[in-house]
């Protein structure tokens, strides 16, 4: 029987925090865990398009926050299309319309309001349960992003020294946001039989606690803290191991295709 596929983007979750979170820590011994994944960009848009196309944005056109307008849709085959061609029910949540490619999703929901997310996820889960086909689902867990915007971006200017002098306090605050994200992921996955699924949990980019002056969180500078991410591949098809070897976020797509025995068909055509 074909496996269902669940992708969860844990927005701005740092790899050095993942193993300190109760639920994600419990998954790691039964998964392939990569703790040193390098994101294509330090922002969600560039990272998402590289993950879903398997192509760097300097070639696909999605090379910035607003690079979606230049994405070469006629030349780059998206991960979603491979599953749509195989009659999967494709459904997604993204925190913003411009971040995750819309193409080839049967249903696509854009929502950032954290108060509305639980009800939205209930609706998406019902859609999946009422579907008679295999499904490909993406969930954008953006609690960390939302808390950073609320408690950092709106309170401190990029050059406000006070923020950079309280790194330990920033770190403690961030960990509470990460615990919220971990709890939401657990609650979400409690609705699925993971033995029937390929599960991939990853971060689109990292973030900073203010260790480097000028980098309050992410999206501006390119230090390791904002470019380093992680990936957890969970399912019977994946061996159990941990590695800190450097790998690329752009390779998430071909890894999923490979484990699903789907060959890239050459439909992506770039000069």
Q: What is the pLDDT of residues 112-163, one digit of tens each?
A: 999 999 999 999 999 999 998 999 999 999 999 999 999 999 999 989 999 9
Distance CA 201, CA 233 (A): 7
Residue 244: count of CB within 10 angstroms of its CB = 11
Query: Three-state DSSP class for 41?
Result: coil
pLDDT at 64: 81
The residues, any chain, with a CB within 8 Å of residue 95's CB and separated by 6 or more, are 11, 44, 110, 111, 112, 140, 142, 145
pLDDT at 214: 86
Nearest of 9, 14, 10 to residue 171 by alpha carbon: 14
Got the DSSP string for 108-177? EEE---TTTHHHHHHHHHHHHHT-SS-EEEEEEE-HHHHHHIIIIITT--TT-HHHHT-HHHHHHHHHHH
Average pLDDT score over residue span 41-68 = 90
71-125 pLDDT, tens digit per residue, is 999 999 999 999 999 999 999 999 998 899 999 999 999 999 999 999 999 999 9
Residue 237: count of CB within 10 angstroms of its CB = 13
Distance CA 101, CA 94 (A): 9
Residue 1, pLDDT above cutoff 60: no
> Comparing 108 with 2, which gets the higher pLDDT?
108
pLDDT at 67: 78
Distance CA 204, CA 229 (A): 7
Distance CA 248, CA 242 (A): 15
pLDDT at 182: 98
Q: What percent of the chain has pLDDT over 90?
A: 84
**Residues 80, 51 contacting (CB under 8 angstroms):** no
What average pLDDT is seen over the chain? 94
User: How crowded is the C-beta side of 100, counted as CA atoms within 13 Å?
Assistant: 27
Distance CA 108, CA 111 (A): 10
pLDDT at 143: 96
**Residues 182, 209 contacting (CB under 8 angstroms):** no
23-44 pLDDT, tens digit per residue, is 999 999 999 999 999 999 988 9
Across 65-79, 215-229, 237-251, which has the greatest mean pLDDT? Answer: 237-251
pLDDT at 268: 81
pTM of the model: 0.96
pLDDT at 223: 87
Distance CA 146, CA 116 (A): 13
- pLDDT bin (cut points 50, 70, 90) of residue 239 is very high
- pLDDT bin (cut points 50, 70, 90) of residue 254 is very high
């Amino acid at each position: 029987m074909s496996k269902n596929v669940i992708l969860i983007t844990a927005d701005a979750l740092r790899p050095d925090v993942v193993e300190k979170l109760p639920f994600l820590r419990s998954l790691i011994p039964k998964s392939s865990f990569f703790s040193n994944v390098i994101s294509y960009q330090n922002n969600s848009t560039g990272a998402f398009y590289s993950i879903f196309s398997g192509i760097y944005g300097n070639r696909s056109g999605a090379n910035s926050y607003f690079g979606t307008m230049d994405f070469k849709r006629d030349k780059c085959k998206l991960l979603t299309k491979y599953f749509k061609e195989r009659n999967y029910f494709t459904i997604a949540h993204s925190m913003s319309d411009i971040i995750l490619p819309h193409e080839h999703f049967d249903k696509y929901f854009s929502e950032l309001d954290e108060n509305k997310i639980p009800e939205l996820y209930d609706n998406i889960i019902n859609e999946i349960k009422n579907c008679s086909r295999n499904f490909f689902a993406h969930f954008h867990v953006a609690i960390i992003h939302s808390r950073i915007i609320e408690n950092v971006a709106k309170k401190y200017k990029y050059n406000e020294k006070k923020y950079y002098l309280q790194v330990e306090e920033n770190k403690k605050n961030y960990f509470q946001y990460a615990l919220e994200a971990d709890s939401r992921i657990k609650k979400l996955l409690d609705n699925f039989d993971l033995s029937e699924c390929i599960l991939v949990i990853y971060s689109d980019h990292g973030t900073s606690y203010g260790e480097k002056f000028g980098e309050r969180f992410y999206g501006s500078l390119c230090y390791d803290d904002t470019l380093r991410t992680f990936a957890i591949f969970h399912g019977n098809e994946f061996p159990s191991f941990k590695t800190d070897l450097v790998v690329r976020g752009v390779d998430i797509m071909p890894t999923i295709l490979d484990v699903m025995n789907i060959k890239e068909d050459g439909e992506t055509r770039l000069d």
